[in-house]
Chain A
Amino acid sequence: MSLLDIRKLNVTFGHGSNPFRAVSGLDLSINSGEILGIVGESGSGKSVTMLAMMGLIDAPGIVTADTLSFAGQDLIGMKPAQKRQIIGRDIAMIFQDALTSLNPAYTVGDQLIETLKQHTPLRGAALKARALELLEQVEIPDAKSRLNAYPHQLSGGMSQRVMIAMAIACKPKLLIADEPTTALDVTVQAQIMELLVNLQKQNDMALILITHDLAVVAEIAQKMVVMYAGEVVETSATDTLFATPRHPYTQALLSSIPEHSKGARRLNTLAGVVPGQYDRPAGCLLSPRCLYASAHCVSQHPPLIPIAGTSVRCFTPLDSNGIPSHE
């Protein structure tokens, strides 16, 4: 049984005849100790999916799902008070902008201790000791004095480490990292990724990495989910995905990695933007931007179809040469 199992997750915003569908019919699962990468450009619904899973979508957002189970517990029918015992303890999340994700009015120690107080029986001096231990675990130098530091006294990388310390405080079974390195310098990015992977191994956590940067997940994720306009367009093992992308969107994403077009004068890009509420195509959501779109693609919406261990939402999946297969 998988640790997290999501079936037919829908997240919509707004009422009336034309609500905005941020996520539609999303299936996703992850096993204990696994690393899953969710990729897609901005606006593809990656973060919303995870926020919805954690119950952090507010009205007017509406979240529905056939299944939303974590470690055998049904998250969707659960009372908020009960859910709060899981959130922050068994499922933890870190965010893109660590500096603004920490409360400026409290010290690092206060914020760490708050999580511990909420979910563990530790009290008094033990709390402080554990907080210190956590800061050392995320390799913060001079951890003792950092306990009394305020977020504005920390660098971006340092605050992301604090966020990570807070997230792993209760040894979660699942850690969600939402673009954890996007706001950081390249050198710091590598350090943070290394730290995340180490912690994942040490604590045997499942890790979901949300990113728009394929290079970040390429080396560490076992499975990949590619999202586009609120839908999964391809799921696959990471190696397979990089070797033979089946969906034209995945192919486009891969070819826009700078390393993949060495020597070229211009970087490959996919023209256009993710469709919004009012320009949502009737057929395949990628059809206006897809190089291979046919009349069929424009009129019909493709289902997610399994091909050789992967799933692809395309009528004409690409073959191993990167050319659309025609029936």
Chain B
Amino acid sequence: MFSFIIKRISVAIPTFLGVTLLAFALIHMIPGDPVLLLVGERRLDPEFYRAAMQRLGLDQPLYVQYWDYLRQLLQGNLGESIVTHEPVMSEFLKLFPATVELSMAAMLFAVVCGLAAGMLAATKRGTVIDHTVMGAALTGYSMPIFWWGLILIMVFSVHLDWTPVSGRIALEYDIPAVTGFMLIDTLLSGEAGAFKSAVMHLILPAIVLGTIPMAVIARMTRSSMLEVLREDYIRTARAKGLSRSRIIIVHALRNALIPVVTVIGLQVGTLLAGAVLTETIFSWPGIGKWLIDSISRRDYPVVQGGILLIATLIIFVNLLVDILYGVINPRIRHSR
């Protein structure tokens, strides 16, 4: 197992390098530069502009800039924001819990609803229930996040007034950030109603962000379940006189989960991509919104650092999925 992890990490190194290059190239391809956006074009003093560019190292040829960036990176330095002058890492760490909280809530929604829907559809195969569930899943999968988010806000926040429109918590609460996770912090603060407010703020964004992964998980669970239900060992389980629920949950689901876990892992990438949009719609102060803001400010170090950190995260999650795989599937565990 240990050698497997080492192997996987060493495979990830070229990926990291590729990500740095891509992030660097993409952000420098966008017209405009940070200094221009900071001071505005109107009364731009050419002398000041040149000095600022030099101070930021932006007057150097691109390959020199890239090389400097890599050198800093190897020393564990992601640089600091051109706009706020805060280290990228500390900004990331400050905002990251908000995204994690949102993503975890979305994932929870996606896994619980997706597995249930998939299993239901598989066991009621060919019936109205199956077609309804799968139709809903396809609709969810095809839903553009920004549109879906706005519709939900219109229905549940504006018309029904069930949930707040945006943010992480109502303005009346001032919650000290201990862990960065609003649900935990509100509980720690002991303020009455704060936890409920945090939950209410989380529901809609979590549903919006979780919809696509839920649809993918539901479809995958259904097809995987149908395949497993045809297996010989399901016949054996039935010949043992086991109840239908035990056959489905104990014998079928465990085997059906193997491909589903991979899909869940892959959805983490989709989730982070979706978080960028979801956080923007709901003014959720996480890394998605941070990245979008930084791109419009041409805050090169933040964009490069942010993308790299997200890529690291995805690689890490995929590694985790591979390890989890072995836990579920003994055939993989033993072949290593």
In whole angstroms, how far apart are the Cα atoms of A153 and B334 in the complex? 9
Q: In the complex, what residue of chain B is closest to A119 when comparing beta carbons?
A: B241
Contact B240 A114 (CB under 8 A): yes
Q: Which of A87, A92, A104 contacts B330 (CB 8 A)?
A: A104
Query: Within 8 Å CB of B334, what residues of A?
Result: 150, 152-153
Q: In the complex, what residue of chain B is closest to A56 when comparing beta carbons?
A: B238
Contact A56 B239 (CB under 8 A): yes
Query: Within 8 Å CB of A101, what residues of B?
Result: 232-233, 235-236
Contact B235 A95 (CB under 8 A): yes
Query: Within 8 Å CB of A29, what residues of B?
Result: none
In whole angstroms, how far apart are the Cα atoms of A231 and B46 in the complex? 99
Contact B329 A95 (CB under 8 A): no
Contact A92 B239 (CB under 8 A): yes
Q: In the complex, what residue of chain A is closest to B330 when comparing beta carbons?
A: A150
Whether A84 touches B242, Cβ cut-off 8 Å, given contacts A100-B232, A105-B330, A152-B331, is yes
Q: In the complex, what residue of chain B is closest to A50 when comparing beta carbons?
A: B239
In whole angstroms, how far apart are the Cα atoms of A115 and B251 in the complex? 13
Contact A87 B251 (CB under 8 A): no
Query: Within 8 Å CB of B254, what residues of A?
Result: 103, 105-106
Q: In the complex, what residue of chain A is closest to B328 when comparing beta carbons?
A: A105
Q: Is B45 an interface residue when CB atoms closer than 8 A count as contact?
A: no
Contact B236 A56 (CB under 8 A): no
Q: Is B237 an interface residue when CB atoms closer than 8 A count as contact?
A: yes
Contact B233 A103 (CB under 8 A): yes
Instruction: List which A70-124 residues lie within 8 A (CB) of chain B.
Output: 81, 83-89, 92-93, 95, 97, 100-107, 114-115, 118-119
Query: Within 8 Å CB of B329, what residues of A?
Result: 104-105
**What's the least CB distance linking B217 to chain A, in Å?**
19
- Number of A residues with CB within 8 Å of any CB on chain B: 31
**0/1 string, B295-336, CB within 8 A of A gives 1:** 000000000000000000000000000000000111100100
Whether A115 touches B240, Cβ cut-off 8 Å, given contacts A100-B231, A102-B233, is yes
Q: Is B255 an interface residue when CB atoms closer than 8 A count as contact?
A: yes
Query: Within 8 Å CB of A87, what residues of B?
Result: 238-241
- Number of B residues with CB within 8 Å of any CB on chain A: 21
Contact B241 A95 (CB under 8 A): no
Q: Is B84 an interface residue when CB atoms closer than 8 A count as contact?
A: no
Query: Within 8 Å CB of A85, what residues of B?
Result: 241
Instruction: List which A33-57 residues lie within 8 A (CB) of chain B.
Output: 54, 56
Q: Is A166 an interface residue when CB atoms closer than 8 A count as contact?
A: yes
Q: In the complex, what residue of chain A is closest to B257 when comparing beta carbons?
A: A105
Instruction: List which B223-269 residues lie within 8 A (CB) of chain A.
Output: 231-233, 235-243, 250-251, 254-255
Contact B242 A118 (CB under 8 A): yes
**What's the least CB distance linking A326 to chain B, in Å?**
46
Q: Is A163 an interface residue when CB atoms closer than 8 A count as contact?
A: yes
Q: In the complex, what residue of chain A is closest to B329 when comparing beta carbons?
A: A105
Q: Which of A83, A150, A166 contacts B240 (CB 8 A)?
A: A166
Contact B239 A88 (CB under 8 A): yes
Query: Within 8 Å CB of A119, what residues of B?
Result: 241
A-B contact pairs, 28 of them (CB 8 A): A81-B243, A84-B242, A87-B238, A87-B239, A87-B240, A89-B241, A92-B239, A95-B235, A95-B236, A97-B232, A100-B231, A100-B233, A101-B232, A101-B233, A102-B233, A103-B255, A104-B233, A104-B255, A105-B255, A105-B330, A106-B254, A114-B240, A114-B250, A118-B240, A118-B242, A150-B330, A153-B334, A163-B236
